[in-house]
């Protein structure tokens, strides 16, 4: 074996060792959570790293009946509606910034992207007062508006970066054929942006599904609380059934994991082509 081949083999060994260690670091906590969701409290505290003696599916039934079903419904409703609103508004804004000549276009673009620097925690107090005055506090509308408004700058940034290098000749051909801007956007530009659209959808779903601060501050009822906040209600000061909590956590994590693995090909392609431009 040559010197170059030896170092190449060593580098491959180190690379695969690193990837294997990374898989263990990422996958083991998820596996540990799933396994502990099937245990009893006695098993969990006796040996938290051992396999369950039997699969106690009752923990999942108990978690479901203690409100996880309501929290799941609220999370799905808020996530789906805010995702549709955010991606559609951001895509339309990105189209305007890249395809429409407007006065002070760069200023408008800078103002939109400047929203990336606004920290949500800084605006909590005025937002609470404003939503209370508008009668939107403790409603789905509060979370929908907040999740949409605070994610539009970032989503617009990604879609705009992808649209910049799309061929303008297609738009010009559609205009010659008599297509309106709306028709061009909806039937031509948007389908061409499919990879980045899927990437932004996944990113927003991850944000909305796991968001805790707004959900905790702006909701205070079982009917509107999302999973991150609702799962804390499974904890009790007088003795917590931790396997039930782990079961609820598994229910909360499963939809996002399935979504990511189902669309990871488009996710990676969209980000690499969008951010890399």
Confidence of residue 85 (pLDDT cuts 50, 70, 90): very high
Of residues 75, 45, 42, the one with CA closest to residue 56: 42
Mean pLDDT, residues 110-120:
76
Q: Which of 2-16, 145-159, 203-217, 218-232 has the lowest mean pLDDT?
A: 2-16
Q: Rounded to whole angstroms, how far apart are CA atoms 174 and 168? A: 10
Q: How many CB atoms lie within 10 A of CB 108?
A: 14
pLDDT higher than threshold 60 for residue 18: yes
102 or 81: which carries more pLDDT confidence?
A: 81
% of the chain with per-residue pLDDT over 70: 91
Query: Which residue's structure tokens are 């939503």?
Result: 131
Tell me the C-alpha distance between 31 and 99, whole Å.
48
Q: Is the pLDDT of residue 119 over 50?
A: yes
Mean pLDDT over the full length of the chain: 84
More confident residue, 234 or 193: 193
User: What's phi and psi for 167, nearest 5 deg?
Assistant: -65, 125
Q: What integer is the mean pLDDT of 18-34?
A: 86
pLDDT reported for residue 148? 94
Tell me the per-residue pLDDT of 232-260, one tens digit each, with 9 for 90 and over: 877 764 467 888 889 999 998 888 888 87
Q: What is the pTM of this model?
A: 0.83
Bin 195: left if φ > 0, else alpha if -120 < ψ < 50, else beta. Answer: alpha
Report which of residues 105 and 190 the model is more confident about. Answer: 190
Does residue 133 carry a pLDDT above 50? yes
**What pLDDT does 141 receive?**
92
Backbone angles phi, psi at 102, to 5 degrees: -135, 150
Find the range with the poorest average confidence among 31-40, 136-145, 184-193, 219-228: 219-228
| Domains, the chain, ordered by start | 67-275 (1.10.3720.10)
Residue given tokens 């906040």 in the structure block = 229
pLDDT confidence of residue 83: 96
Examine the pLDDT at 9 and tell me if it is beyond 60. Answer: yes
3-state secondary structure of 211: coil
Closest to 160 measured CA to CA, from 116, 103, 118, 123: 116
Q: How high is the pLDDT of residue 121? A: 81
How large is the C-alpha radius of gyration of the chain? Answer: 24
Q: Looking at residue 46, what is its pLDDT? A: 84
Q: Are 161 and 274 in contact (CB under 8 A)?
A: yes
**pLDDT value at residue 5:** 65
């Amino acid at each position: 074996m040559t010197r170059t081949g030896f170092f190449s083999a060593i580098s491959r060994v180190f690379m695969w060792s690193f990837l294997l260690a990374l898989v263990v670091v990422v996958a083991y906590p998820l596996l540990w959570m799933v396994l502990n969701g099937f245990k009893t409290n006695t098993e969990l505290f006796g040996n938290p790293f051992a396999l369950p003696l039997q699969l106690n599916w009752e923990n999942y039934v108990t978690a479901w009946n203690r409100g996880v079903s309501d929290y799941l419904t609220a999370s799905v409703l808020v996530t789906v509606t805010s995702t549709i609103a955010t991606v559609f508004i951001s895509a339309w804004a990105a189209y305007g910034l890249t395809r429409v000549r407007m006065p002070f276009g760069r200023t408008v673009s800078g103002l939109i992207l400047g929203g990336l620097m606004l920290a949500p925690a800084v605006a909590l107090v005025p937002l609470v007062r404003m939503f209370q005055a508008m009668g939107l506090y403790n409603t789905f509308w509060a979370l929908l508006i907040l999740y949409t408004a605070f994610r539009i700058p970032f989503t617009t940034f990604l879609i705009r970066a992808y649209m910049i290098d799309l061929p303008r000749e297609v738009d010009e051909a559609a205009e010659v054929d008599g297509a309106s801007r709306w028709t061009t956007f909806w039937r031509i530009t948007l389908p061409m942006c499919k990879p980045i659209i899927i990437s932004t959808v996944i990113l927003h779903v991850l944000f909305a599904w796991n968001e805790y601060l707004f959900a905790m501050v702006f909701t205070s009822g079982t009917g509107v609380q999302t999973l991150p906040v609702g799962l804390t209600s499974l904890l009790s000061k007088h003795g917590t059934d931790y396997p039930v909590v782990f079961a609820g956590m598994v229910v909360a994590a499963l939809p996002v994991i399935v979504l990511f693995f189902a669309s990871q090909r488009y996710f990676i392609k969209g980000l690499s082509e969008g951010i890399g431009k």
